[in-house]
Amino acid sequence: MRDSEGREVPRLCAETREIDHVDDLLDFADPTGTLAWLRRGDGIVALSGVGEPVFTLSEDGATDLARIPRLAARWRAISDVAEVDDDVRVPGTGLVGFSAIAFDDRSSAPSTIIVPSALVGRRAGRSWVTRIRRADAAYPELPTGLAPWGAYWSATLGPGSLDPAAYQSAVHSALDAIAAGEVSKVVLARDLRGTVPAGADLRRLARALSTGYPDCWAFAVDGLIGASPETLVTVSRGTVTARVLAGTTPRGADADADTLASAALATSAKDQDEHLYAVRSVLGSLRSHTSALAASEQPFTLKLPNVWHLATDVEGTLSGAASALDLVGALHPTAAVAGTPTAAALAVIDRLEPFDRGRYAGPVGWVDGTGDGEWAIALRCAQIGAPDAATDASPDGAPDVGSPTPFSLRATLPVVAHAGAGIVAGSDPESELMETRVKFRPIVDALA
């Protein structure tokens, strides 16, 4: 079966069965091609040892059409013809695809949905295994053992295209754009670049982030690995939730200093303004897809191991037939990672950032066959290796056109990490640089 553009719409079958309790989901994941979504020990991982993914959807920036709506339409077509046998029926069971999406439609990084051959999940005390196949193939045999953990490893990291001095200069330029009325807020990022050993067990990075930041979404999709504190959107059985983060300060060195840091953030006019832009952005994007949409009147301070954030929770009821991917498309990019107004902020980012963000600050998460899913903004993360080529996988898992050199044939793999800060009137370049240093800490520490 093919869609209106002549691309294959595979008929997929998914079977989910409950299994004995799983202690550590990452034990089941692939060491070098890790696909994982974790929070507080629960989540889903693609099972190692069962072969290549069943299918991969990929969109690049070669067309003038937005990638996310195209991915959403293609996923809906696949879901409509899929056969699902699900005995567990909790979020993350049945037909599931892991996804990482480029921040900008013009990015060279592909936006993908990867459907694994098998995955293992755990939620609310229940564990399960899902096997997925094409309609004309058999379900994969489950492995009898687990992949052994590889040796500990560390990355080498150094300044990227925008070093600290250049970043402060870019902040000055952003303030000029704000003073000229071009934007009200713009989020500027800087980069760190380096290498990791070829064949590194990427589960170790995912574990360091998931255990160090258990309240964040720890993810690994197509080499993009991180722990995001910001829920972009969750859709579950008609309920839509999101958590908006904007406004940041480092944790205090002791209890008294920490209390003062939290209070200062909560009363900071600059941070309150930055946060308000982000909340308005999310509410405006969700209104047309929801009913009874509500947000708390005042933000609260969210405590993470290294920072305080201003946070607002949003909840609503899904209206119409929109899927989680449709809402991702409506929301991205939020003011928390781009700025306000969106189009003008993206133009400033393009002018001042001398690099392609790739999937940094883009949507990352999973979507199931009903359209439900959990999505975060790809923050506190690093891209390990070049993302896979922007091509759809053929039935045997091999790409239709040339793929990048396999990890096993490279001496080292490139790694790039980004961190950003929201610039508004009154921002101080040195303070914004310090904010990026604080935001780099989770991924830099985990890579060390």
**185 catalytic residue (yes or no):** yes
- Please state the φ and ψ torsions of residue 360, each to the nearest 5 degrees: -55, 135
Inter-residue contact 193 to 416 (CB < 8 Å):
yes
User: Could you write out the three-class secondary structure of 67-124?
Assistant: HHHHHHHHHHHHHHHCEEEECCCCCCCCCEEEEECCCCCCCCCCEEEEECCEEEEEEC
- Helix-helix angle 67-81:324-331, to 10 degrees: 180
**230 catalytic residue (yes or no):** yes
Which residue among 230, 274, 374, 432 is the active-site one?
A: 230
Inter-residue contact 151 to 202 (CB < 8 Å):
no
402: left (phi over 0), alpha (psi -120 to 50) or beta: beta
14 CB-near residues (< 8 Å, 6+ apart): 82, 83, 84, 85, 86, 94, 95, 96, 130, 131, 132, 369
Angle at 313 between CA 311 and CA 315, to 5 degrees: 165
DSSP class of 230: -
Cα–Cα distance, 297 to 307 (Å, whole number): 22
Which residue among 15, 59, 185, 374 is the active-site one?
A: 185
Cα–Cα distance, 87 to 42 (Å, whole number): 18
Cα–Cα distance, 385 to 141 (Å, whole number): 29
The kind and range of the H/E element at 52 are: none
Cα–Cα distance, 67 to 113 (Å, whole number): 12
Cα–Cα distance, 146 to 219 (Å, whole number): 20
Taking residue 210's Cβ as centre, other Cβ atoms within 10 Å add up to 27
Q: Tell whether omega for the bond before 341 is within 30 degrees of 0, i.e. cis.
A: yes
Cα–Cα distance, 175 to 7 (Å, whole number): 46
Inter-residue contact 249 to 258 (CB < 8 Å):
no
Q: Which of 238, 235, 414 is nearest to 325 (CA)?
A: 235
Q: How far apart are the first and last CA of the chain?
A: 47
Helix (DSSP H) and strand (DSSP E) numbers for the chain: 8, 23
- The number of angstroms, rounded, from the C-alpha of 101 to the middle of its chain's C-alpha atoms is 8
**Torsion, CA 52, CA 57, CA 62, CA 67, rounded to 10:** -140
What is the set of active-site residues? Answer: 185, 230
